[in-house]
Structure 1
Amino acid sequence: MTTVESSAPSGRTPPPVRDWPAHDLDGTDFDPVLADLMREGPLTRIRLPHGEGWAWLATRYEDVRLITSDPRFSRAEATCRQVTRLAPDFAPRPGSLAWADQPEHNRLRRPVAGAFTVSAMKRLRPRAQAVLDELVDGVVRDGPPSDLIERVLEPFPVTVVSELMGVPAADRPQVHAWTRQIISTSGGAEAAARAKTGLYGWIRSIVRAGAHSTGEDVYALLGRAVSGGDIGEEEAVGLAGPLQIGGEAVTHNCGQMLFLMLTRPELMERARARPEARGPLLDELLRYVPHRSTVGLARIALEDVEVAGRLIAAGDAVHVSYLAANRDPDVFPVPDRIDPDRDPNPHLAFGNGPHFCTGAVLARLLTGLLVDTLLDRLPGMRLAVPPEQVLWRHRTMIRGPRTLPVTW
């Protein structure tokens, strides 16, 4: 981790700027660079592979919650600058919830909110279970061994999200290819930009086609919202893109969770012996798994704000780490231990504040169905290879196994 000294806008000597190169990490081990930053203090400074300059990094639970809910820290302002970041391509779109501040955030979220409620997920559950059963039927029919990523964990979330969004079946392979490239850091900025151009152009056409649709899928809702003047077409396109990509996170998160259960017999035994208590176990695994590489989207301080005893000056860029917050020992005793009985467990795996994940209820539904169905349908499920032979995704913003070969 390289150190670069820099002057302090507040006049007080700031912490050094640390280069965070985003090494490819196999398995579910915590990022050693992030662990070092946490030890250095609750508020450090980082420089990521792309963008310009440096940014503050908050790692303590209390500070992360403050920054992500305080209107003095703006996502929208970060669209005007090349803030240091992991993603090679940076092209924020009008309408993207990820970059909106209040009250714009609520205005943009309103047209699609009904598609992601608890009641909507209850209606979706039978169809999602049917999709999953068909995939697992194929696995059982073909017999062991089987790669769960290829056969179940990739196609299941993508199919359900595509149906929820309203993606025609014929278009799904191409849409999936675009979303996979967008979350990858391989291929550089040009490949990511091409994928975004393709995906967002396709979204624009399907939103236009939904203007007079009576359907309840997301693209129909957006089409009617545009035709009714509630949001603009570019806003609808920017709103839909991240929602379309959401299935990728379920694949990778659930892959990590299953890997942990397959390599820690006590977790698998617990899950099988107490199916009624799988919810708290999955919550604890969500807290524990290293969901992403480095950090996500930055914010800009709109005025001077004191955080963790340091002055963040107006105009400074700020990143938060939900992964670090989920390992804060002041909130999660013995944070590096997986404790299925952890109570309370106020983890931030789905974010915090206005930018709490829109698809959190959907993600919980899909994850629960995957674990329940695989454990129930594949008795004695275990890895078909030594753990060190499981392949992991490299050069990606979302961590997870690339293969998960099992037998049963």
Structure 2
Amino acid sequence: MISTSDTSTMKQPRDFPFGGVVGVGVDPLYRWLSENEPVSRIRLKYGEDAWLVTRHADVQTVLRSPSFSRAMAAGRDVPRGTAEDFSTGMVSMDPPDHTRLRSLVSAPFTRSSVAQLSNRVAEIAEELVDRIADGNEPFDVAEMFSIPLTLTLICEVLGVPYEDRAQFRRWAEDGMADDADEDAAMKLWQYHNDLLVRRREDPADDLLSFIATEGHAQGIDDVELAMLAMTVLVAGYLSAGTQLPTMIYVLLTRPELRQQLLDRPEIMPTAVDELIRWIPLEVHGAPPRYAAEDVELSGTLVRAGDALIASTTAANRDPRVFTNPEEIDLTRQHNPHLGFGAGAHYCLGAQLAKAELEIGLRSLLGRFPDLRLAVPEEEVGWKHNYLTRGVQKLPVTWK
């Protein structure tokens, strides 16, 4: 018999997310819950109540185990931060359906492919720092470096015209806001659908053409294929494009860390992993899963059909796994962070994102070793009412 807490006497759900979502601070309630109430009830702005899971081991279980399903969210009032539920397409599937779609877009993101793409990342980064060096200072790291770097690359891989960037960026970012614009999301989907139709008629050497032809040959309808292409585009530039300026902010506001990287550039890979671990990116936790059966997590019985949200932010600060988790250790060796998720939905572009972050930091700090904030720290622009946390505007100077 399972010995667990009685879910019939559950406490009143806490409003989620906790604390502010501006800056890089993590509300201390996450740590308290991890120690005292690792599986707790929460209520988001929209949808049904859910369990919040905060310990690293439990978060791993929720993300990896087939006992927890994304597909079961279909038809449910999913706990979420937006009025509309945009967790559709590949991210809403379980294997084998998820595996089938993921295989269509996996080739450019394998380790060997990323090794080749890294040369192109370095070329784009050097072009951008050359342009910045020749221009007027100060400059905005987000708009003049990180977004152009990640967006140029994913456009080239996918086959989306870079000159359309202002249009599809507006749709993508309006669709990612807390007050998400359903019309913007539909326009972004239609844009990709039109591109897929054109690529099927006139294929090119890009991922869109492969999706259009191979996906069609496998009997996958255009609704799913356009959603897949849209997911790759948005995920391909937005996460790394947000993480990079936030990492620069952390390094510039902690000069000893910046100097450590300048003195020891060989530690860049472990430094990037550590910054991914330490910097909170999610706002509302990982996309909700549903328990397919009764499961015990840290002494709490989660009933079949219950919704759960796994907090990778809390898991990445779990002292059971990370020594001195609140500190940034750029040489941390044991670092099983969950910044890219885990299990079947582990971030497809994780290797590419790490390459972009490593090369981006190396290029900026290498060219501008005296880089510093061009505005007081309190005037740095942060994302508000958004599904991801991070720097929106980061004015810097180097002279």
TM-score after normalising by structure 2: 0.94
* Equivalent of residue 41 in structure 1, options 18, 23, 37: 37
The one of 10, 17, 20 equivalent to 1:14 is 10
Q: Please tell me whether the aligned partners of residues 5 and 300 of structure 2 are also in contact (alpha carbons under 8 angstroms).
A: no
Q: Residue in 1 aligned with 2:385?
A: 395
Quote the residue 2:331 is aligned against.
341
Q: Residues 22-41 of structure 1: matches in 2 within 5 Å?
A: 24-41=20-37
Q: Give yes or no for contact 1:16–1:45 (8 Å, CA) kept in 2.
A: yes
**For structure 2, which runs of at least 5 residues remain unmatched after alignment?**
none
Report the secondary structure of 1:262's partner residue. helix
> What is the one-letter code of the residue matched to 1:178?
W
Could you say which residue in structure 2 is the equivalent of 1:59? Answer: 54
Counterpart code for 2:284: T
Q: What secondary structure, in the 3-state scheme, does the structure 1 residue paired with 2:393 have? A: coil
* Contact 2:104 2:215 (C-alpha < 8 Å) held by counterparts: no
**Distance in 2 between residues matched to 1:239 and 1:334, nearest whole Å:** 39
For the aligned residues, what is the CA RMSD? 1.9
Amino acid in the other structure paired with 1:215: A
Aligned residues, how many?
394
> Contact 1:75–1:101 at 8 Å: present in 2 too?
yes
Match of 1:4 in 2: none
Partner Cα separation in structure 2 for residue 42 and residue 11 of structure 1? 14
- The question of whether the paired residues in 2 share the 8 Å contact of 1:157 and 1:366 is answered with yes
- Are 2:200 and 1:211 equivalent residues in the alignment? yes
The yes-or-no answer on 1:242 pairing with 2:231 is: yes
Which string of whole-angstrom CA distances, capped at 9 and with x for unpartnered residues, describes residues 24-69 of structure 1? 4332111355445435411001001112x21001100000111111
Pick aligned residue for 2:343 from 330, 353, 373: 353
Tell me the distance in 2 between the aligned counterparts of 1:264 and 1:9: 43
Aligned pair partner of 1:368 in 358, 361, 370: 358
Correspondence for 2:296: 306
One-letter identity of the residue aligned with 2:248: L
CA-to-aligned-CA distance 1:149-188 (integer Å, 9 cap, x gap): 1211222211211111110133222111111112222xx2
Q: Residue by residue, what CA displacement relative to the aligned partner does 1:196-242 show, whole Å, maximum 9, x if unpaired?
A: 10011111111122225553422111011133125322221222222
The 1-side partners of 2:321 and 2:188 are apart by 40
- 1:142 aligned onto 2:138: no
User: In structure 2, what is the equivalent of residue 119 of structure 1?
Assistant: 112
**How far is the alpha carbon of 1:339 from its aligned partner?**
1.1
How far 1:146 sits from its partner (Å)? 1.5
**Alignment of 1:109 onto 2:109:** no
The answer on whether the counterparts of 2:281 and 2:389 sit within 8 Å (CA) in structure 1 is yes
Unpaired runs of 5+ in structure 1?
Answer: 1-7
Partner of 2:260: 270
| Structure 2 SS opposite 1:319 | strand
Deviations 1:236-279 (A, max 9, x none): 12222221111111121112111110011110011000111111
2:77 to 61, 82, 104: 82
Q: Which residue identity lines up with residue 128 of structure 2 in the other structure?
A: L
Q: Which amino acid aligns with 2:53?
A: A
Contact 1:390 1:403 in 2 (8 A): yes
User: CA contact under 8 A between 1:25 and 1:31: conserved in structure 2?
Assistant: no
